[in-house]
A and B are shown apart, each in its own frame.
Chain A
Amino acid sequence: MKPIINETLIDLSLMATDKKTAIQDLAKQIQSDDRLNDYDSYIEEVFRREDLSTTGIGFGVGIPHGKTDAVKIPTVAFGRSVEGIEWESLDDEPVHMVFLIAVPEAAASNAHLKILAALSRRLMKEDFRQELMQSKDEASLLSQLNEIFEVALQN
Chain B
Amino acid sequence: MKVIAVTACPSGVAHTYMAAEAIEMAAKEAGFDVKVETQGSIGIENALTKEDITSADYVVLTKDMQIKNETRFSGKTVVRVSVGDAIKKSNALMKKLQQHYDSKNK
B87 at the interface (CB under 8 A from A): yes
Q: Chain A 81-109, CB within 8 Å of chain B: the 1/0 string?
A: 00000000010000000000000000000
B42 in complex: contacting residue of A57, A110, A119, A121, CB < 8 Å: A110
Residue among B14, B18, B84 having the largest count of chain A Cβ atoms under 10 Å: B14
> Chain A at the B interface: mostly helix, strand, loop or mixed?
helix
A90 proximity list for chain B (CB < 8 A): 84
Chain B interface residue number, banded? 10 to 19
Question: Nearest Cβ in chain B — how far from A119, in angstroms?
Answer: 8
Chain A interface residue number, banded? 20 to 34
Q: Which residues of B contact A (CB under 8 A)?
A: 10-11, 13-18, 20-22, 25, 38, 40-42, 84, 87
A to B CB contacts below 8 Å, 17 in the list: A57-B14, A58-B87, A63-B14, A90-B84, A113-B42, A116-B13, A117-B14, A117-B16, A117-B38, A118-B17, A120-B13, A120-B15, A121-B21, A122-B21, A123-B18, A124-B18, A124-B22
- For the complex with contacts A117-B17, A120-B13, 4 further pairs of A-B residues with Cβ separation under 8 Å are A114-B42, A117-B42, A123-B18, A125-B21
